[in-house]
Amino acid sequence: MIDNYLLEELVTFSKYGTLAATAEELMVTQPTVTRGMQKLEDELNVKIFDRQPNHISLTKTGILAAKEAQKVLNQNQSFIDTIQAYEASHTTIKVGSVAPGPILMLHSLDNIPDNLVINDNLLEQEAIINDLENRSFAAILTNKEIMTDSIESRFIGSEHLSVNLDKFTYLANKNSVKFEELKGMSFIVINDIGIWKQIIQDNIPDAKFLYQEQYDAFKEITQYSSFPYFSTNVSKASDHLPTQDDDRIKIPISDDAGSMDFYVSYLKNRKSKVSSLIKLMSQSWK
């Protein structure tokens, strides 16, 4: 069995081409690399290095050996990643979401289990089934119920969209508004709002959306401007929204597209692992 470090030396030499660069990259001494190369040749019982007085290079066999060594290293790393992911899937509960609200709510709870790992990067709808089946996530918060041979979903609550308007605008006097009534307006919006982004873009005619990558910039702009912004019954758990000093009026959006049901989706054979999460979120959802 050839040690991994010998294969790493070969692959690194193939990439950088000199003993000095190889030693520097691997953070070892040059004599260490030289001894490793000799040992590798001895174990393979072939010549893979062409040694000249002031130069060393790979033979054709050495070039092939470097390519095959990279494959072995990749396979070994894949083996490690698979085993570690399997172990993590049994000791931690990793949760993802397609929208920010449920994640913000989870972060706000005081009684979440110690083994709960919350992924803050929003997931794509198309990747949910694959992410669950390969055990990248124990549970994913989705806006669609998923029922397959291996996956099931449990309803946890609904998220309702509101628009926060300057109190001096005529719409601020209404009990609710429709998307159509917001046509042509300009909104300040956090960029990473997942599936809500397409909904507001599709339903508000001729609107301008001033997307902000950073929450700090979003809060500052809303503080010193009168641009309307969106919030939900769930996002109020976040400290990223403007403070109570904000004088905008929160008006619910009455269109069906302004409400979204959420589910915890998971592998059926891992139901017992996520049952506490389902109970916690169902009880905390408001």
Q: Which CATH number fits the domain that encloses residue 28?
A: 1.10.10.10
Which of these three, 64, 90, 116, is where a domain ends?
Answer: 90
Residue 240: what pLDDT? Answer: 63
Model confidence pLDDT, tens digit, residues 51-110: 888 889 999 999 999 999 999 999 988 888 888 777 766 678 889 999 988 888 888 887
Residue 263: what pLDDT? Answer: 94
Number of domains in the chain: 3
Pair (187, 127) in one structural domain: no
Which of these three, 59, 90, 121, is where a domain ends?
Answer: 90
Pair (235, 165) in one structural domain: yes
Residue 278: what pLDDT? Answer: 87
Pair (163, 252) in one structural domain: yes
The residue length of the chain stands at 286
Pair (264, 148) in one structural domain: yes
Model confidence pLDDT, tens digit, residues 27-42: 888 999 899 989 999 9
Instruction: Label residue 223 exposed, middle or buried (CB < 10 Å: 0-12, 13-18, 19+).
Output: exposed
Asked whether the beta carbons of 186 and 225 are under 8 A apart, the reply is no
Pair (269, 141) in one structural domain: yes
Pair (108, 16) in one structural domain: no
Asked whether the beta carbons of 200 and 207 are under 8 A apart, the reply is yes
pTM here? 0.65
Among residues 160, 157, 142, 111, the alpha carbon closest in space to that of 285 is found at 157
Pair (137, 167) in one structural domain: no
Residue 88: what pLDDT? Answer: 62
Cβ neighbours of residue 253 closer than 8 Å, sequence gap 6 or more = 160, 161, 162, 163, 176, 177, 178, 179
Residue 63: what pLDDT? Answer: 93
Residue 244: what pLDDT? Answer: 55
Which residues of the chain are modeled with pLDDT < 70? 88-90, 236-245, 286
Pair (36, 163) in one structural domain: no
Pair (272, 131) in one structural domain: yes
Range of the domain at 182: 159-259
Chain position carrying tokens 């706000």: 108
Find the CATH number of the domain harbouring 99: 3.40.190.10
Pair (130, 145) in one structural domain: yes
Pair (150, 188) in one structural domain: no
Which of these three, 57, 73, 90, is where a domain ends?
Answer: 90
C-alpha span between 149 and 111 (Å, rounded): 32
Pair (83, 8) in one structural domain: yes
Tell me the backbone φ, ψ of residue 194, rounded to 5 degrees.
Answer: 60, -135
C-alpha span between 129 and 132 (Å, rounded): 5
